Amino acid sequence: MYDALIIGGGAAGMSCALVLGSAKPKAYATHKNIGIVIHQKTSHLQTALFNNVLGLTPGTTGASILNSGKEQLSSLYPHIDQIDNEKVLEVSKKDNYFKVKTNKTIYDTKIVVIAVGYTNLMTIEGLNQYIEPHPRAAIAKDRIWLKNTDHLIEENLYVAGTLAGWRSQFAIASGSGAHVATDILTLWNGGKHTKVHDKVEV
């Protein structure tokens, strides 16, 4: 049983995983089982080129971030399960947890974060009732969002990134994933607001 399972290994999903992973030393997070279905084939990062993102060297490719993000996650926070080569087909509610069915197996998890991007090709069963036209994209592009309030679709079911209704910019999608992570950490911390900061030792 996962405590939190992130679906999607793009900007939002990997950012969410990094922040959740970084909370390992905190008592409220140390024993949590966290996973990410790190499917990246259809990430918008595959063809993106970044010149306008603070902290990224101009000319950085999205494809390089897909690789370096996975490496950053596995080297700094190896306790996060990276589930490779699987695609999610269905998310369903069972009592007080969720079943996440992939093309290979079924995972049980208490919390789900959906971060699969805002394309209308999204075909995960069990989410159809939340799909609406994207509120901040050109109508002609036919983008979608999962209706939510502050990233929360329903109890313990979160959406992050462009699929949460944000415009498609790398920093926004990453920030959305980080935002969801701190919401989950706050939940695990008994509702007391929390964040994770590293600092330079002097």
| Binding interface with ligand FAD (CB under 6 A) | 7-13, 37, 39-45, 47-48, 50, 52-53, 62, 87-88, 115-117, 124, 161-163, 168-171, 173
CB of residue 102 to ligand FAD, shortest distance in Å:
7
Task: Please state, in angstroms and rounded to a whole number, the distance separating the CA atoms of residues 60 and 57.
Answer: 6
Of residues 167 and 192, the one with the C-beta less far from ligand FAD: 167
Of residues 40 and 194, the one with the C-beta less far from ligand FAD: 40
Of residues 44 and 110, the one with the C-beta less far from ligand FAD: 44
Residue nearest to ligand FAD (CB): 10
Of residues 38 and 194, the one with the C-beta less far from ligand FAD: 38
Of residues 119 and 186, the one with the C-beta less far from ligand FAD: 119
CB of residue 73 to ligand FAD, shortest distance in Å:
13
Number of other residues whose CB lies within 10 A of the CB of residue 120:
12
Place of tokens 């699929």: 163
| Cβ neighbours of residue 196 closer than 8 Å, sequence gap 6 or more | 19, 22, 23, 26, 182, 185
CB of residue 170 to ligand FAD, shortest distance in Å:
4
CB of residue 31 to ligand FAD, shortest distance in Å:
26
CB of residue 36 to ligand FAD, shortest distance in Å:
9
